[in-house]
Amino acid sequence: MKTVYLSRGIFSLYVLLMLSGCATIDFGHPSDPLEAANRKIDVFNQEFDKAVAKPVAKGYRKVTPDPLDKGITNFFSNLADIPSAANNLFQLKPIRALNDVGRVCVNTTIGLLGFFDVASDMGMPNYKEDLGQTLGYWGVGNKPFLVIPFLGPTTLRDFVGTFGDFYMNPVSYSSKGVYWTLVTLNLVDKRADLLEAGNVLDEAAVDRYSFMREFYLQKRESDVNDGQGSMDEDLFEEDVFFDDPPSERSDE
C-alpha cells in the first residue's frame, strides 16, 4: 500500500499538468507528443530541485565524508544487482545473470553489505539491467517520452518497468520506517552524485529540456543494445545545444 498512494499521487499530478497543456501540444518530435505538458512538468521539477532537492543534496555532501558517501552509493548499487540479475535472465543472458548473482554474494559478504565494491575489484562487470531494458530487448518501443513529477525524464516503457524493478528489490519488503529511510537516503545520495553534472547542464545548454530528452532517449537506446548503439555526436555540437544564450547573440 505504501507505493500505491505515492504512484497514484504522481500519476494524478502528471495528468493535471498534462491536461493544462493539451491545447498547445507540439507534435514536432516523434518520441515526444506530450512535449507541451512535459515542459511544464520539467519546469515544476526544476523549481522543486532548486528549492528542496539541491539544497538537501549539498547539505548531505558537506556532512558526509567521501568514503561514507561512496559506501552508501555502493550499498544501493549492490541491492540493484538483484533485479539486474533477474532482468539479465529475462533477456536470455544467463552468464550475465550469474555474474550479477556473484556480485551480490561477494559484495554482501566480503564487501560488508555492499559498502565496498569488492566484486568490481575482482573483475566482475557491473551490468545493471532493468525491466525497461528488458521490455526494449523484447521489442517494446520507447514512446512516448514522459517527464514525471519529482522523478524526471523517462518513457512509458521505462516508467512501467520501474514498478517491476521495485518489487524485485529487497528494499520494497522492509518495514515502513526502514523503507522510507532507505528510499530517502537513496534519492538524496543520487542527487548529491549529480551535483556537478547538473551544474554543467544548467550553464551550457540553451534548451535544457531538448538536451535532456535527446540524451535520455539515446542513452536508453544504447542501454537496451548493451552499449552497441552509439550516442549521436551531433548532440554535443556547440551550435546545437551549447551555443551562446539568446541574450548574448548578435542580431545579425
Where are the domains positioned within the chain? Answer: 45-230
Q: What are phi and psi of 181, to 5 degrees?
A: -65, -45
At 58-109, the pLDDT tens digits run 999 999 999 999 999 999 999 999 999 999 999 999 999 999 999 999 999 9
Q: Is the distance from CB of 95 to CB of 125 less than 8 angstroms?
A: no
pLDDT for the residue numbered 143: 87
pLDDT for the residue numbered 227: 81
Residues of the chain with pLDDT under 50: 1-27, 230, 233, 235-252
pLDDT for the residue numbered 201: 66
* pTM of structure: 0.77
pLDDT for the residue numbered 232: 54
pLDDT for the residue numbered 168: 96
pLDDT for the residue numbered 205: 57
pLDDT for the residue numbered 208: 87
